[in-house]
Amino acid sequence: MDHRRVQRTLFRMQLDPAFASRLRAGEADASKGLEPVELRLLRRADPSAVSADRDGKRRAQFLANVSSEFRLSIAAGLDVDGFTASREFHEAAQSDASLPLALSCYALRCSSDQPRPLRALVALERALARARRELRPSRAPSPGEVVLAAWVSLASLPAGTLALAERLRAALDAGAKPPELVLSSERDETLLVRSAPAATPFRLRAVEVEHTSPALAALLRAACLPATRAALAAALSTDLADLDPVIDDLIADRVLVAA
C-alpha cells in the first residue's frame, strides 16, 4: 500500500464530493491508479467524516491559499470556485504536482472566452507563478556563444497589461474601487520575467517583470538557443560592433549567459 497515494486520494475526496461518490461507485476514472487494497480502504471511509467541512471553511481556505498568486485575475472576474472539481486539480493532486500551477492552467482554460483584459491578467500571473517555481529549459553555451539565462523568460502579452496590473494592484492595496479594466491597444508587448537564479530552500523564487523594447525582445528571442555574437548580429541584420556592447551589458546583468 502506498500511503501517500491514499492520502492524496482522500484529499481529493474531501474537496470534491462528486469524485468521492464516483470512487465509491467503482467508476474506473475515479479509481485509476489505486491498488485494490487502497480502493477498499477508501471506500470503507465514513462518508460523513470525509465530507465534514463546517460552513465550507476548509474548502474556502484551500482555495484562498492556492489562488493567492492570482489576486489580480480574481479581482478582474476570474472564478476559481470550480477548481476542486476540475481535471487540472485532480491530475495535480494525484501526481503530487504544484497546485498553484494547476490552478494557472485551469484559469487559462476558463478565461479563454472572457474579455481580453482578464485573459491578459491571467497570462501575466501565470507567467509569474511559473517563474517562481521553474527554470526555463536551456542549453549550455559552447565557447564563444551566449544564451538567454534559464531564469529569464519572455512573455508576449497585450500592450498595457503590466500597467493595468499595477493600477489594479494599487487599488486593491489601498482598498479602493478597482480601475476600469481596459486595454486600449490591439498590439502585443514583450515582458521580461526574471527570477532569482538559485532557489532558497522552502521558499519560492523572487520574481520581477519589466518591459522590453521590440529590438531587445528580438535579440533575446534570438538568444533562446546558444549562438555566437556574429550569428545574432546576422539574425538581427545589425552591425556586430553595435551589438557587442548591448550583449556585454546583458551578460553583466545576468540576462544572457556566456561560456
Q: For 64-112, what is each residue's pLDDT tens digit?
A: 999 999 999 999 999 999 999 999 999 999 999 999 999 999 999 999 9
Half-sphere exposure of residue 241: CA atoms within 13 angstroms, side-chain side: 0
pLDDT of residue 149: 97
Angle, vertex CA 104, rays to CA 221 and CA 217, nearest 5: 15
186: three-class secondary structure by DSSP: coil
Nearest alpha carbon to residue 124 among 97, 91, 161: 161
Hunting for cell 486600449 — which residue is that? 184
Q: pLDDT tens for residues 135-165?
A: 999 999 999 999 999 999 999 999 999 999 9
Please report the pLDDT score of residue 199 as a whole number.
78
Distances (CA, A) of 6 to 27, 85, 150: 17, 18, 36
Indicate the pTM of the whole model.
Answer: 0.92
